[in-house]
Structure 1
Amino acid sequence: MDVHVRLDGQRDLSGQIYRQLRAAIHDGLLRPGEPLPPTRELSRRLAVARNTVGVAYERLVAEGYADSRVGSGTYVRSAGLPTGSPETAVEPTGPGLRPRALWSSLSPWSIPPTTGPTPASHDFRVGLPDARLFPYDAWRPLIARELRLSASGSAGYGDPAGHAGLRAALARHIGLSRGVRADPDDVLVTTGTQQALDLIGRVLLEPGDRVAVEEPGYPPARLPFLAQGAQVTGVPVDDEGLVVDALPADTRAVYVTPAHQFPLGMPMSLRRRTALLGWARRHGAAVIEDDYDSEFRFGGRPVETLHSLDRDGHVIYVGSFSKVMLPSLRVGFLVAPAPLRTALRTAKYTADWHTTVPTQAALARFIDDGRLARHVRRMQHVYATRHEVVTRALTGDHGDLVELVPSAAGLHVTAFTRGPLADPDALLAQVRHARASGVAVHTLAEVAAHRSARPGLALGYGAIGAPDIEAGLLRVLSPCQDR
């Protein structure tokens, strides 16, 4: 890698080179064992005599910052570098740049750490699929093929709406699996759900508009709207989902997770879904439906999407591949009513032009070849087994300590705590004790946007094998039974 050296004037050129290279070594920009640029090359780039660079290098060697190897070059010393620091950087003389005051009140969703530096022996974290079971052998050739096509000269900037093949594949996929009526033009590919929410806010909201979210609810969903100057209002949920009657009349958009409410886990009842759509129609509001892990269902009738029930064009359907495949793919999508298409594509172009094209193209083939459907079927069986083990343990051996919230979908369950763990402080102490013994687990309050009215646990089973679940729950709950 080229080293940037800036020369000021014509005085003490060797000293200027020496000081900047020494600072790069101190700052870790030049690491132990790395070569310094050949003197001939650096002198050419700086338009100085080769001897000028040579004097700077000799000083670095003499002071213990570098080693000269005959016939090879000059290298940063591998060990025993001098201690101390170079001259202090010049401090700005003026106030400099500052963010808008709004940003001092916002921060990324930060769940408290669950374990120390070693991996958890029992991982109950929420929102994680089992990355160990992802079909990497099937995925690698698809990505490799797209990269080869890029190398052949076919690479270029993509369509802001997304890869045409992927949009067509997504329209078929959600039509078959979730009953969402959409054609490829309705689909916009995004870099995850978070970007989808950001784009929707840019297109629909004016500063000061009100957005309603579930409470307790998914914390990151609030951030894009807050950052755009919206008023975000929490609306309570009950055992049927969002309480529609509690929506403020001036709400411009409502964000909901109807198939598997986050974090409590129950589905929104048909009666409540119908009421929400009627409310949106009367108030001219948008309903943002986050269908985040509905592919995995373990009992009962499939829950119809709000989008499939909508006849008036008020629902924007949002999904991603973070739970079905891998969070690191960062591929999501939204399905929007026709009047929003052009504005959303322009907003996507403004944000980042397009989501990475090779990944989109590979995912299109992954879906069209039937590999996604096979993977979902396989994981459906795996997660169903884990769901059964978790629910059986919580309603059986630990039933005196927890009250399970009924849930037949997704990758986590929620249980309200009772008895000695009904006290939030006692629950948090118990959870910390479990973490110290190698269990990654969170309280309900830690994963929700606002503290729940009742203390509880959010227990993910996506990243923990079925044989480890009961032992992990025993570490979480059994110590208080011994007291």
Structure 2
Amino acid sequence: MDLFIDPTQPRAITRSLYDQIRAAIASGRISAGEQMPPSRQLAQELGVARQTIATVYGRLTAEGHVIGRGAAGTFVAPTADAHRPARADRTRSSALAPRPGLPETADPEFQPTGLDLRSGTPDLALFPHVAWRRAVLAAAHQPPSGYGAYAGLPELRRTLARLASRTRGVVADPDQIVVTAGAQSAIDLTIRLLTVPGDTVAVEEPGYLPVRRLIESLDRRVALVPVDADGMQPEHVPARARLIYTTPSHQSPTGATLTIARRRALLSYADRHHQAIIEDDYDSEYRHTDRPLEPLHLLDTTGRVVYVATFSKTLAPSLRLGYAVFPVELARHAAALRAASDVQPPELLQRAIHHLITTGDLDRHLRRSRKIYAKRHQLVADWVARMSTAGHLTPCATDHAGLHLTVRLHNITEEELAARLEPHGIRLGSYRDTWAKTPDHDGAVIGFGNADSSDLEAALSRVEHALASPPPRPRVRP
């Protein structure tokens, strides 16, 4: 309990202390039944006479706010909670307001009673708990190193450089890597590094909503580039854009893979117009049926691509660890800009990830999870094929990767489908929310990461029934 005394008002000390303690009890900062500091101790801490504290406690006791229990001390009265105003009445209104254009709230959390089939969430039951425990314990054996390196621990950056080269063909020096708090942090850092307020950033339409919101929150303009079954269409990127954001390996949300021809066309276009590219490779670890195409970073010959990767899909989103590979000339500037915000991710987390990779535990986890996700992907893909044959939907693209598939709906709106599934505790990902403009068709995003095969089959059966059910008959007024 912090109490404050105005030394310029010595005669008002008793009244001030009484008011502060009473307000703390009324607001709930001091709970019912909590012991008050002994009068001698509190007097010494505040530098006042003990009689002053005794007078304050005496008045609070007389009014029923506290009770004395002899040698045991003074306690907040058990009935204090009952006399407190409602929480809304106890919160102080503010004259402050956020600047215009920001979202009012983040997306609400959804806790379905059945299955959450939205995209973006891996199966946390597959998380390598034993290996992670070993990694954290190994990391905890080393003492912290102060503020450390702004770009991330040197040993982790060396390990990430080898990992990116071995798994994705991204050739990078460790000094090009900046460790971040997930992919979103890396994207935020890149936007602030390469653009200024008022600049235009080109994004996919439909695309990843959190990035579009991020761009707008940074006072950059958003340019929408259409996507088809072959990914982003480079010819529609505006020349005025300073930066292009794309998900070429597994377009979010359609699942399209940017073709080699379009990858080269995009790089050529960016080179002609002096544009930078963010390549968000958010779930390329999970290719289920075909070989991955070369990343833009590997095809880039002029140093225009910033490659972004994350551990959110391979391990867990809440770990908040990712990294960006910058052109060598930009890496130190990125680290300096990073130092001006959150400095670096927690060192313990970085050391744990480093241990997980170097011991081979991450590779073992990926081999196991790939097999499981491949079976789930095939299950959903077969179901989509059956529903397509039945005329209920059409896949948005030939999708061979990731943890979700996206479809266009026929004869039912996204809202109608959601309403039919809600009583069963099933929620699909929103297709409409991935569009900045209102689409001319409805769709659904079917995530299969966070569901085992038996539950997934049951949920898809419910979705099939909802798609096949006739629309409700309109009510006729008598």
Q: Structure 1: how far apart are the matches of 2:51 and 2:82?
A: 25
Unaligned runs of 5+ in 1: none
Write the distance in 1 (CA, Å) between the matches of 2:122 and 2:299: 29
Name the CA distance, whole Å, in 1 between partners of 2:159 and 2:207: 30
Distance 1:133 1:46 in 2: 54
Measured in 1, the distance between the counterparts of 2:45 and 2:464 equals 66
How is 1:38-437 mapped onto 2 (pairs within 5 angstroms)? 38-79=38-79, 81-85=81-85, 99=98, 103-107=99-103, 110-111=106-107, 114-115=110-111, 119-150=112-143, 154-396=144-386, 399-405=390-396, 406-419=398-411, 421=412, 424=413, 427-437=414-424
After the TM superposition, which residues 441-480 of structure 1 pair with which residues of structure 2 at under 5 Å, given as runs?
441-480=428-467
CA distance in 1, matches of 2:93, 2:114: 47
Distance 1:66 1:476 in 2: 59
Query: Identity of counterpart residues, as a percentage?
Result: 37
Tell me which moved more, 227-236 or 263-272: 227-236
Residue 389 of structure 1 and its aligned partner are, at CA, apart by: 1.4
The Cα shift of 1:393 comes to 1.9
Instruction: Give 3-state SS (helix, strand or coil) of 2:341's partner.
Output: helix
Question: CA deviation digits over 1:179-227, x for unaligned, max 9?
Answer: 1111211111111112212211222113322110001111121234333
Structure 1 window deviating more from structure 2 (435-444 vs 283-292): it is: 435-444
Q: Cα offset for 1:114?
A: 4.2
**Cα distance in structure 2, aligned partners of 1:444 and 1:149:** 46
Q: CA offsets per residue over residues 6-47 of structure 1, 9 Å max, x none? A: 223223533322322222223222233433223222211211
Query: 2 CA distance for matches of 1:203 and 1:408?
Result: 33
In structure 2, the CA distance between the partners of 1:80 and 1:343, relative to structure 1 (3 Å rule), is: closer
SS at match of 1:271: helix
Q: 1:74 to 1:452 in 2, by over 3 A?
A: farther
Which one-letter code corresponds to 1:461 in the other structure?
F
Q: Which amino acid aligns with 1:459?
A: I
TM-score by length of 2: 0.90
Using the alignment, how far apart are the partners of 1:37 and 1:194 within structure 2?
Answer: 46
What aligned pairs does 1:14-29 form with structure 2 within 5 A after superposition? 14-29=14-29
**1:170 shift after superposition:** 0.5
Question: Which AA in structure 1 matches 2:400?
Answer: A
State the Cα deviation string for residues 389-410 of structure 1 (Å, max 9, x = none).
1122222257432212321111
**Residue 108 of structure 1, CA deviation:** 7.3
In 2 relative to 1, CA 285–349 (structure 1 residues): closer, same or farther, beyond 3 Å? same
Deviations 1:97-150 (A, max 9, x none): 665xxx3212278445545xxx43212021011112211222123223333433
Name the stretch that deviates more: 217-226 or 272-281.
217-226
CA contact (8 A) 1:179 1:304 kept: yes
Letter in 1 for 2:348: P
Q: Is the 8 A contact 1:210 1:230 kept in 2?
A: yes
Check whether the contact 1:217–1:450 (CA below 8 A) recurs between aligned residues.
Answer: no
Aligned equivalents of 1:66 and 1:323: distance in 2? Answer: 53
* 1:89/1:325 CA distance change after superposition, 3 Å: closer
Amino acid at match of 1:137: V
What TM-score do you get using the length of structure 1 for normalisation?
0.89
Indicate conservation of the 8 Å contact 1:64/1:81, yes or no.
Answer: no
Distance 1:177 1:391 in 2: 25
State the alpha-carbon separation in 2 of the partners of residues 58 and 367 from structure 1. Answer: 63
2:3 is matched by which residue type in structure 1? V
Shifted more, 51-60 versus 249-258: the winner is 51-60
| C-alpha spacing 1:88/1:213, structure 2 compared with 1 (3 Å) | closer
User: What letter is aligned with 1:410?
Assistant: G
| Residue of structure 1 equivalent to 2:475 | none
**Alignment partner, residue 32 of structure 1:** 32
Deviating more after overlay: 195-204 vs 287-296: 195-204
Most deviating of 154-163 and 165-174? 154-163
- Counterpart residue identity of residue 127, structure 1: G
1:84 Cα deviation (Å)? 4.9
CA distance in 2, matches of 1:471, 1:89: 46
Counterpart in 2 of 1:4? 2
Conserved? CA contact 2:28–2:84, under 8 Å: no
Q: Distance in 1 between matches of 2:243 and 2:463?
A: 39
Unaligned runs of 5+ in 2: 471-478
